[in-house]
Amino acid sequence: MSKSLYLPEGYKASLSLRETQHAIKYIKDVFQQALSFAVTLDRVSAPLIVTTESGINDDLNGVERKVGFDIKEIGGKDAEVVQSLAKWKRMALYRYGYRPGEGIYTDMNAIRRDDDTDNTHSIFVDQWDWEKVITKEERTVEYLKETVKAIVKAVAYTKRKVSLRYPQLKSQINDTPFFITTQELENMYPDKTAKERERLITKEHGTVFIMQIGGKLASGEKHDGRAPDYDDWSLNGDILVWDEVLDNALEISSMGIRVDETSLKKQLAECGAEDRMKFPYHRMIADGTLPLTIGGGIGQSRLCMLLLEKAHIGEVQSSIWPEEMTKKCAEHGITLL
């Protein structure tokens, strides 16, 4: 069992199990419409599995084991359950003929077998994955910030709608994000770990967008890991919201402007991953075939647990948990689905 499991003293869920199920659907209905309007996105279907040879699966930090199997119908070719759709979405925008200012979103379900489970992490991942075509001139920090503001407004709007339907839910969300880079955050709290810094800055501001994740800081450490072949590390970040139940910062989205040919080459070299240029996806970025994009993932279960004031992600999604965790949660009034 994860040592980081947090058991809030005196916790009691505000909604019954049945009310929770109704509320989850309501949140998903409201938020995806708000997101689609705010960022100009169409809903599309997306794969659960991809072939290993495609190179489209997300490598996350490069060490996680993918769930794979061979397929009888195509001569035993190897396939993998997706870990995210960061690369697939950009390919889809190209294939479907989307133009600047237009984008897509989809329901992404993934299995991350090596994730540690705790209050906010599950081996089952469900996100709204989204991607939008942009122009070269829009590859700026200013455009990134405007997109973050639009997403945060959609989250805050959904929270207001949910609270109107369930007035027993009292928490609020700051709809004006505070922007800070990972280096600025390290300079502010040089003696703290990355997670401690996130907690301190989010507690102070309520809603925060921490920018420039992936590269090394002045200390020589990384704030957090990022794959080198989707986000441009100088134009990305995480949206964090203060969670009163967990007394901690809750990351609800990782997003960013995606690599162009220059940043792809630089980041692959920094990670010693130049061999990925053999894949069609990477070659299509290098030769300018794929459009320039911005995109990210917004955690469905995390958003639900935040808006419904739940103490554990297992209260809003069905997954597999260590037996000891299930027992400890039950002893503290936390019912895992």
Q: How far is CA 137 from the centre of its chain?
A: 25
Q: Which domains does the chain have, with CATH numbers?
A: 17-322 (3.30.930.10)
CB 69 within 8 A of CB 196: no
To the query of whether residue 114 is one of the catalytic residues in this protein, the response is no
Residue-level pLDDT at 279: 85
Annotation marks residue 127 as catalytic: yes
Query: Which among 90, 112, 258, 302 is annotated as catalytic?
Result: 112
243 catalytic, yes or no? no
Q: Average pLDDT for residues 45-61, to the nearest whole number?
A: 77
In this structure, which long-range contacts are made by residues 106-110, counting pairs with CB atoms below 8 Å and at least 24 apart in sequence? 106/43, 106/44, 106/45, 106/46, 106/130, 107/46, 107/300, 108/46, 108/82, 108/84, 108/297, 109/48, 110/81, 110/82, 110/83, 110/84
Q: Which of 238, 243, 260, 309 is catalytic?
A: 238
Active site residue 18: no
pLDDT at 114 over 90: no
pLDDT above 60 (res 2): no
Catalytic residue flag (residue 238):
yes
CB count in 10 Å sphere of residue 86: 28
pLDDT classification of 262: cutoffs 50, 70, 90: very high
Nearest CA-CA partner of 196 in 225, 215, 223, 220 = 223
Kindly name the residue from 36, 212, 253, 254 that is annotated as catalytic. 254
Return the pLDDT at 1: 47
3-state secondary structure of 231: strand
Residue-wise pLDDT for 270-312, tens only, equals 999 899 898 888 999 999 999 999 999 999 999 999 999 999 9
Catalytic pick from 83, 127, 263, 267? 127
Contacts for 6 with CB less than 8 Å, ≥ 6 apart = 118, 119, 246, 247, 248, 311
CB atoms within 10 A of CB 331: 9
Burial (CB count within 10 angstroms: exposed 0-12, middle 13-18, buried 19+), residue 27: buried
Q: What is the mean pLDDT of residues 217-242?
A: 93
Average pLDDT on 131-157 reads 97
Place of tokens 């692959």: 268
Q: Which of 251, 261, 276, 319 is catalytic?
A: 251
pLDDT at 3: 58
SS3 3: coil
Of residues 133 and 55, which shows the higher confidence score?
133
| Distances in whole angstroms, Cα of residue 189 to Cα of each of 12, 183, 216 | 34, 10, 16
For residue 163, give the amino acid letter.
S
Active site residue 254: yes
Q: For residue range 241-260, what is the model confidence (pLDDT) as tens digits?
A: 999 999 999 999 999 999 99
- Average pLDDT score over residue span 96-110: 94
Percentage of the chain beyond pLDDT 70 is: 97
pTM exceeding the 0.75 threshold for the entire prediction? yes
